[in-house]
Structure 1
Amino acid sequence: MTEEYCDCWEYEEPASLPLIGDEAPEFEAQTTNGQVKFPADYKGKWVILFSHPADFTPVCTTEFITFATMEDEFKKLNTELIGLSIDSITSHIAWLKEIKDNIKYQGLEGVEIKFPVIADIKMEVAKKYGMLQPGASDTKAVRAVFIINPKGIVKAILYYPLSAGRNMGEIKRLLQALQVNEKDGVSTPANWMPGDDVVIGAPETFAGAQERDIWMNDGDKTVHSWFLVTKKQK
């Protein structure tokens, strides 16, 4: 009697990850503010979609408090916040209530989380956005941030490990840089802050480079070289 050999394996679909320039994956989900259909419900607005590892965790709590205190700043930039973790809606509600009722952090207390938090027990949204990374955890989403423009296009992606809290000021700065790029077609240099000079794109032809040789500093633009020209932000 011979032993049969089966070279078989169970196929598991790899986690997807939308790339910059892709359409944001669609989903419907329950949130702490009710049912949401994404990105259709946010047409015409910028969105910061971010995941956190779990409710009732210390770093996540500091992030949510910080995001909540900046929500009006984001709204002035036509931007909505949406959080997510692999927890139930009941867990989300209990955690947000605990933050409001009992947490004091850096002089802040009574902070109400008004932006929606997605309940993703089945990990459906987390998998669509590549928020689950087995090297970090099989059951907790990493600290992912997706900045999505009013047309539902992914414009920026940030990933942080479970152990490091995000810099919300940098997320806001990046959002503002993306908005300047879409509005004026310019780029932003290292350490750019709103109001700083912006960068004019480098020429893409030899003739264009030659033309730059006659450009002069004129109070609006500064010619550092034929490939590096900055100008005042409009």
Structure 2
Amino acid sequence: MNEDKIDALPPGTALAWGQAPAPRRGPKPGYSLEQIVDAAIAQADAEGFAALTMPSIAKRLGVTANALYRYLSSKEELLVLVAEAAWGPPPEPPSGDWRAAVTAWAHALLERCRRHPWLIELPVRSAPTTPNLLGWLENFLDGMADSGLSTGDVVGCALLVDGWVRSTAALLRDVHASTPERVQAVSEFLRPRLEERGYSRVAAVVSGEAYGEDGVEDDDVEFGLGRILDGIEALIGRR
């Protein structure tokens, strides 16, 4: 593929497929691109998405921020490569029906988000173009291959489940960021005020376990995914 066509690709796409640009003049690079991406992931794991900056990554590596531009043309390119590496390859699909396959796919995505909570903050500016992310889509399409749905329907289901994973991961991250002391303080503060306003049903929720003294439980997570799968099953029945 010639240089002009590579330049027309979304940032990071060619690099993710191993198509590196021609070496630039200057001192021999002291790091590989993989080492820079690993350092970026370590930085984000330690300090969150806001720490994914060229200066902070350069500091972790012991180089100047300008030195990183010998490897990368932009921060956007770095973020694409970081997403590709952090999401990683998809797991092998389980044997069984489409429902088991989609459940395993969703749980695997959610596990990646729990391992790297900042992943859900990475901007999504286009359809996937990198090997691992396209592998996740292939995995989903393969799991739904015998469902009888059209490719368009299956892609729509993939977007739906992916959206559920991201919103659930954000909820889990935010809820678990609250300490038990804060949750209890909020509950005790709200309960009498809700009762004064006649919000008896909400007051009962706030007073009970459902409000989250123990955080979001696994059953809460499974409830949402189960309803999505029920909807897909109904769609399969209609088709």
Q: Which has the higher contact order (CA 8 A, sep 6+)?
A: 1
* TM-score, normalised relative to structure 1: 0.27
More helix by share: 2
More strand by share: 1
* TM-score, normalised relative to structure 2: 0.26
